[in-house]
Structure 1
Amino acid sequence: MLPVFEGDERILVRFTLVPGSAFDADALAALERSGARTIMWEEARDGKHDLILAASPKGALRVLSGPAALLPHGAGFNKTVSEEGSPHLPSGLDPHHLLADGEPWAALHALAHDDQLTRLTEYCPSAAARAAVVGDPTLDRLLGSLAHRENYRSALGTGERRLIVLTSTWGPESLLARRPELPGELINRLPYDEYQLALVLHPNEYSRTGTFDLSRQLAPALAAGLTLARPHEEWAALLVAADAVVTDHGSAALYAAALGRPVIGAYGGGSELIPGSPMARMLSRVPQLAEAADLLDVLPAAEAHDVRDFADAAFALPGQSLRRLRSELYRLLGLRPRSAPVTPHPLPHPAAPQRPRAFAVRAEVSGLRISVARFPPCTSEEVHHLAAEHPESGQRHVQSASVLWRRARPTSPAPHTSAWTAAGWTTRVLDEAPGCRTAAAVLSPERCLVRHRSLGPLSVRIEPCRTTDRVLRADPGAVLSAIHAWLGATQQWAPPVSLVCDIGPLTVRVRLAQADEADLDYEL
């Protein structure tokens, strides 16, 4: 919303927090990170303001002096919060919050859709007289960021995998409150090289639980590669990057629907979702996820279901919100807007998730072709061996892994250095880890040195997959598991040999040959 004031030196913006919110700590931290100026509530209450902007009508906002504007917040008005205001009414349209002494206290109620104006007219006609349909700035920012989708996926390390995003609102009926085990169950079942999993939480959930406790509670899933979106802006970049969304009744699902993303419901019902709302209609029609094991069966049905019509019932005037908001807000200020056009800012790039350090691997060998599927070590899926990165995966996995690998590090700038050669390191690992059958040094995405306990050192060359306009690479760690399985299943062979490895959506060709001196002497 604030881009409407960009380029206007006449406008100074200050932030304050209304007392009584249970979620104010993280809001202050976010404002500090942005460099915004804040003022104490007492100063805001005692001063006079040219314009007051709020996303919610709750709290003591009505005691502030100056014209107030209520801005679009979330994807419409789909939820009611128990023990607040009028029973069964959405708080954003509730006369209990919108009126003071029987009169609307806001000079403008900005809405995202004509249907919201109709509902406001039904619940609170006097507030509706001051309302205007302007569209949704958040949706416009999402739509304006679609051109950055590949960049977001690159930042996440998604590659050719399919990104599944879980979205959870806040409160007792949220996905995370009711099914806290779901992220872990899904990541333990989804093949790592085919699917990437992300979790989007409402900022209120971050504030209620805290980043420290969330990281602790989700630690096994995070170690297995789960992306946990940071609060505030990153959730939206993940929706742009997503291939499908699993959701409760929170607003994020309707934004995903507006982007055309397949939606799978994971809301068990309750008192919060308002019947007949756009969210309720969508959740009644999309496929439902009863058990984590059902996801891969439910996903094709979701992909065949176009959900954009449900979003059309929540969002109007796509691409016009900032222009319309600017007109309304400058009217309240009594100023003429600057002539420069206003456009949504692209969303920031999301942070990369942790890279898993150990995998339980299922590898099926058929002649010179190997199919590999990798899962977290604690998976219940049928697997054949454990593969781990040395030493980052930890002593327990290092001691029990059949395949151990190490990635080459950048050359140190220090004047005094000591580095293993690939030959020396692989020999040492087999000596120190008697359960290991294959040790490997990953020299580059296309080049490895493998030392098998029975067969000695081998040079590995991995061909990238090439299309007419793209170069696609598989994780060398998955290729090493394929080689390990093939060497264990093959009785007699003579190098060189060419193998075909199916790893997730990619098929890569791999050449095994006698180890050459350049690979043996490569410094790790």
Structure 2
Amino acid sequence: MSLTVGAGRRVLVVVRTVTTLSRLLDVLSLTAGDRRIQTVFTHDVRRRSTLAAGVDEALRDLGGSMVPWDEAIGTRFDLALAASENDGLAELNAPVLLMPHGAGFQKFYPGTSVVAGMDPDRLVVDGRVVPAAIALPHHSDLVQLREISPAAAPFGAVVGDPALARMRGSRFRAPYLRSALGARGRRVVVVASTYGPDSVLGRLPELPERLVAALPADEYQVVVVLHPGVWAAHGPWQVRAWLSQAAAYGVRVVAPHEGWQAALLAASVVISDHGSLAVYATALGKPVLLAGRGSAVTVPGSAAAMLAGTAPVWDPVSDPRKQLEAAIDGHDPASEQQVTAEQQVTADQQVTADDCAPRLRALVYRLLDLPEPAAPAEFAPVPAPPPVGGTVPGWVAGAEILPDGVRVERYPDPGTGPPHDGLAYRHLVADERTGSLTRLGSADILVTDLRAAGSVRRWVEGAPEQLSAWPQTTMLAAVVDEWSCVIRTRAGAHLLTADDLIDPVLLASLAHVRLAATGQLPSRDRLYLGDRSIAVAVAAG
């Protein structure tokens, strides 16, 4: 087939797992717009990783041009990019640039003393050093490479950590990323789990549900980021099924090949284990609580090992909210723990995060034997994860009446957490579209949504009949738009409008509390959600 664009160089990307693809995409962001370069992808099916599940789907979603492995090893390429030495890189007819597939070189291959990413028997084959260049995050890695494989050490190039550099360059996007995760105005709690029985998910599989049941929904957003190995080992259907209840009640589950960088940037606090994301979170200045046990595969003296010895530990028995607030409020990004971990992850005095893109791009173009583009070298901004829909089936809500308003606190009601019996003005809210019959029959407030289609007038007129069908219910509420909610009690209807973006269902809780306390609604009110204060106008409907 005749090509439309006559690219002069061909780059082969060797994808072993979804994790390696994620790391290589950071590198490709430095060459993506260069019309002199045609990029294709391949997968070494002969040495397939046990964690390779999901690679085909990820590449299909990416839309990359695929080349079968047999064809790839029989074709000359100008450069091959890889993030694992375990593929048959020696068979390729191309200079190979080998990247790390984690936060540095912090783990042994299970059951061995071989450092992952630096296997001397894979770096040197039949007396030949396989990679034309080995990209290293910092100079201590070069020292380590000299000790492990002296023959390969001259090919080491200290360029910094692309993943971390990309995230640091995107820190200004944190508010936007929080909004994309549905967490505008809220703290983001990221549960970041690697794979294996000693991980967060392995030790505390019900942690997402426990968090969502214990944290006020309008103050906290829980985001779960699982290592692609979890998805590969159990299968996407099973993982989603296990997390389906948590997701139904507001937990955001990040897909295996997108969104983990956005989640870390948006995070207010991270609960993690011995995986790379705990190290990256620390280097980004995030408070980290370790919930997984230390791992036998962690390299002594690495950032992961140092973090395991210094970071506060998550207590599965203690109150989740108190632990998270203590971690956030007491965190000092300039603490010795943070500085120590950061020095291990990023670079030393000679390599900073700002140097990574220029150094790495210069290395790539040197291997391609091409002049660099004139534009400055920089990584593409971290993208927001795709939007997700869904409506929480039910809430447990309570309130505190203040001199000038009402502070409302509500929790998703999955039926697995505490009943929150201590809440003042406690009431149950259920959504007609997603709530079960049992939940709808016990709710004080029934909610519907008129935004897609529906007449407010007809809904108000039909509300008395609906109220008679649900004896337990004292109020019906219909969301009108992003700012307003109309309520209908047996006494009449009112329209409540907020002056800021909130979940309009909260306005029904505000009205419920006012009517329970005084029997009437003021024309002007104020709703408090954590630290937020929202003015509310009330009009007869």
TM normalised by structure 1 equals 0.88
1:397 is paired with a residue whose SS is helix
> Tell me, what secondary structure is at the counterpart of 2:480?
strand
Cα separation, 1, equivalents of 2:242 and 2:51: 20
- 1:347 corresponding residue in structure 2: 382
Tell me the residue number matched to 2:18.
Answer: none
2:332 matched residue in structure 1: 305
Q: 2:149 — aligned with what? A: 124
Q: Give 1:196 shift.
A: 0.5
**Structure 1 residues 8, 486: CA separation in 2 closer, same or farther (over 3 Å shift)?**
closer
Pick the aligned partner of 1:359 from 395, 398, 403: 395
Equivalent pair of 2:199/2:293 in contact (CA under 8 Å): no
User: Any idea what SS the aligned residue of 1:126 has?
Assistant: coil
Cα distance in structure 1, aligned partners of 2:265 and 2:284: 7
Match of 2:312 among 279, 283, 287: 287
Is contact 2:444-2:472 (8 Å) kept? yes
Aligned counterpart, 1:469: none
Q: Cα offset for 1:43?
A: 0.9
Q: 1:261 aligns with which of 286, 290, 304?
A: 286
In structure 2, the gaps of 5 or more residues are: 1-26
Q: 2:489 aligns with which of 449, 452, 455?
A: 452
d(CA) in 1 for partners of 2:514 and 2:427?
12
Percent of aligned positions with the same letter in both sequences? 35
Pick aligned residue for 1:440 from 473, 477, 485 = 477
Judged with a 3 Å threshold, the aligned counterparts in structure 2 of structure 1 residues 298 and 496 are, in CA distance, closer, same or farther, namely: closer
Partner Cα separation in structure 1 for residue 464 and residue 343 of structure 2: 62
1:430 pairs with 2:472? no
Indicate yes or no: 2:56 matched with 1:14: no
1:243 aligns with 2:243: no
Query: Paired residue for 2:14?
Result: none
Helix, strand or coil at the partner of 2:192: strand
CA drift of 1:422 comes to 3.4
1:38 is displaced (CA, Å) by: 0.8
The alpha-carbon deviation at position 176 of structure 1 amounts to: 1.3
Partner SS for 2:312? coil
Residue 318 of structure 1 pairs with residue 353 of structure 2: yes
- Name 2:451's counterpart in structure 1: 409
Structure 1 CA distance for aligned equivalents of residues 246 and 260 of structure 2: 18
Structure 1 segment 128-277 matched on structure 2, within 5 A: 128-277=153-302
Return the alpha-carbon distance in structure 1 between the equivalents of residues 521 and 132 of structure 2: 80
Question: For residues 95-114 of structure 1, what are the structure 2 equivalents within 5 Å?
Answer: 95-114=120-139
Amino acid at match of 2:232: S
How far did 1:381 drift?
Answer: 4.0
CA distance in 1, matches of 2:444, 2:317: 29
Q: Is residue 287–residue 298 contact of structure 1 (8 Å, CA) maintained in 2?
A: no
Where 1:4 maps in the other structure, the secondary structure is coil
Cα contact 2:451–2:481 (8 A) shared by 1: no
Specify the alignment match of 2:368 in structure 1: 333
Alpha-carbon spacing, 1:458–1:324, altered in 2? closer, same or farther (3 Å): same
Is the 8 Å Cα contact of residues 50 and 333 (structure 1) preserved in structure 2? yes
Question: Residues 91-116 of structure 1, C-alpha deviation per residue, up to 9 Å, x if partnerless?
Answer: 11232332213542212111011111
Report if aligned partners of 1:438, 1:484 keep a CA contact under 8 Å in 2: yes
Give the alignment partner of residue 108 of structure 2, picking from 61, 69, 80.
80
Q: Which moved more, 1:62-71 or 1:185-194?
A: 62-71
C-alpha distance in structure 1 between counterparts of 2:373 and 2:199, whole Å = 43
- Three-state SS of the structure 1 residue aligned to 2:289 is strand
Q: What is the CA–CA distance in structure 2 between the aligned matches of 1:56 and 1:205, rounded to whole Å?
A: 18
Q: How many residues align?
A: 496
Find the aligned partners of 2:407 and 2:293 in 1 and give their Cα distance.
Answer: 37
Q: Is the 8 A contact 1:462 1:508 kept in 2?
A: no
Residues of 2 paired with 1:494 and 1:30: CA distance? 56
- Paired residues of 1:287 and 1:301 also in contact (CA < 8 A): no
Q: CA deviation at 1:423?
A: 1.4
Q: Deviations over 1:425-477 (max 9, x none)?
A: 43232122111111122223443332223xx114243443xxxxxxx433222
Q: Is the 8 A contact 1:164 1:195 kept in 2?
A: yes
Residue of structure 2 equivalent to 1:468: none
Q: Secondary structure at the match of 1:284?
A: helix
CA contact (8 A) 1:71 1:111 kept: yes
Determine helix, strand or coil for the equivalent of 2:157.
Answer: strand
Q: Which segment drifts farther, 340-349 or 30-39?
A: 340-349
Q: Deviation of residue 142 (structure 1)?
A: 1.0
List runs of 5+ in structure 1 lacking aligned partners.
413-417, 465-471, 520-524
Give the Cα–Cα distance (whole angstroms) in 2 for the partners of residues 135 and 236 of structure 1.
17
Task: Render the CA deviation track for 1:194-215: whole Å, top value 9, x for unaligned.
Answer: 1100001112222222222111
> Quick check: 1:426–1:440 contact (8 Å CA) kept in 2?
no
Aligned residue number for residue 418 of structure 2: 380
Instruction: Output the amino acid matched with 2:429.
Output: A
1:484 and 2:512 matched:
yes
Within 1, Cα distance between the matches of 2:131 and 2:474? 71
Please state whether the residue corresponding to 1:313 is helix, strand or coil: helix
| Corresponding residue SS for 1:374 | strand
Q: Distance in 2 between matches of 1:330 and 1:365?
A: 64
> For 1:494 and 1:315, how far apart are their aligned partners in 2?
59
Q: Return the letter of the residue paired with 2:276.
A: S
Given that residues 460 and 510 in structure 1 are in contact (C-alpha distance below 8 angstroms), is that contact kept between their aligned partners in structure 2? no
What per-residue deviation string (whole Å, max 9, x for no partner) do you get for residues 354-390 of structure 1? Answer: 3313101233446775332211222314243210122
* Cα distance in 2, alignment partners of residues 273 and 359 from structure 1: 42
C-alpha separation in 2, matches of 1:165 and 1:346: 20
CA shift, 1:74, in A, is 1.6
Structure with higher RCO (Cα < 8 A, 6+ apart): 1
Q: For 1:318 and 1:447, locate their aligned partners in 2 and report how far apart those are by CA, in whole Å.
A: 45
Amino acid at match of 1:357: P
The answer to whether the Cα contact below 8 Å between 2:214 and 2:320 also exists between their aligned partners in 1 is no
Secondary structure class of the residue paired with 1:106 = coil
Secondary structure, aligned partner of 2:43: coil
1:153 Cα deviation after fit: 1.7
Q: Measure how far apart 1:217 and its partner are.
A: 0.5
